[in-house]
Structure 1
Amino acid sequence: MTAALLFDRDDTLIVDVPYLSDPALVQPVPGAVELLDRLRADGIPIGVVSNQSGVARGLLTVDQLAAVNARVEELLGPFDTWQICVHAPADDCACRKPRPGLILAAARALGVDPAHCVVIGDIGADVRAALAAGADAVLVPTARTRLEEIEHARAAARVAPDLVTAVALAL
């Protein structure tokens, strides 16, 4: 039974713009608005779990990140939790995907067992973080998703062609 859905932000909920610092560039992926509205209407808790290393790299500020995330909510509606890792890959933190920290923190914030969460994302780190946290995962590959990430997801989780199908598989 799925108690909550956790989404990666870039290339899963919104079109990816590397190190996005301008709220005006936020663009939802097709079907995201209607899908999220339906999940909210059905009472399913939803959250965002996102690596944002651009902050640690000095490519955007915490305020710019907050403004972008506020624009995401303006366009897509409210999320029940936001869990963001602003560390660089070299920082060796516990939260950066593929480590489970963001997933575990989101589950805690939602008051659900991680085993009853499904993480939906576009790269292997999303799937590996979910599995490390004891959650389930659905990969929605994009042009940037590596073939080995897709093959791993097929073996360890599920793969969907788009966000709407991913949610259908998750529920």
Structure 2
Amino acid sequence: MGLKSIRCIAFVLAIILTHGCSAANAPKSAAQENNIDLLVLEGNADTAYKSGHLELAEGLYRQLLSYKKDYAPAWFRLGNIYTRTNRLDAAVNAYQNSISSDNEHAKAWHNLAIARVRQATDVLIEAQNHLVVDTAAKDRMDQLFLELMRIQSAKNQGPKVASYENL
């Protein structure tokens, strides 16, 4: 781990450990009881995400979600992290949680579809190890695989298929 990464982690941890303010008579939330400023936590998660520190960002988003379970933007970013690290089942789950919290979150719907297409492609690749060559079933699977690959390769040619990374 480089010096820059260590400094980034130290900075984020220092901010997380700072105390938040709360009204004297107001009931405390779990975040307030643990002296967590959720805006700072989200800002730190976003900074780690945008700078490519995905492991750190994942941990911070998960911490944020422990206090705000239905927070669609955090679920969406987790979905993006899981997609980028090829954890497609986790990505699907995260996008579905984002959609459950905000069913008009178009980017989450889009990225859920992309993750599902990638899962389907992985299934077809695995099927190649188990199908008998020169059968009608194998030919249909090959055609489907080629079509899915064509769709996925189109993402480099325009925004229609590209996944959304930023919110």
Range of TM-score over shorter length: under 0.3
Higher RCO, 1 or 2 (CA under 8 Å, sep at least 6)?
1
Q: TM-score, normalised by structure 1?
A: 0.26
- Larger strand proportion of the pair: 1
Q: TM-score, normalised by structure 2?
A: 0.26
Please say which structure displays the higher CA radius of gyration.
2
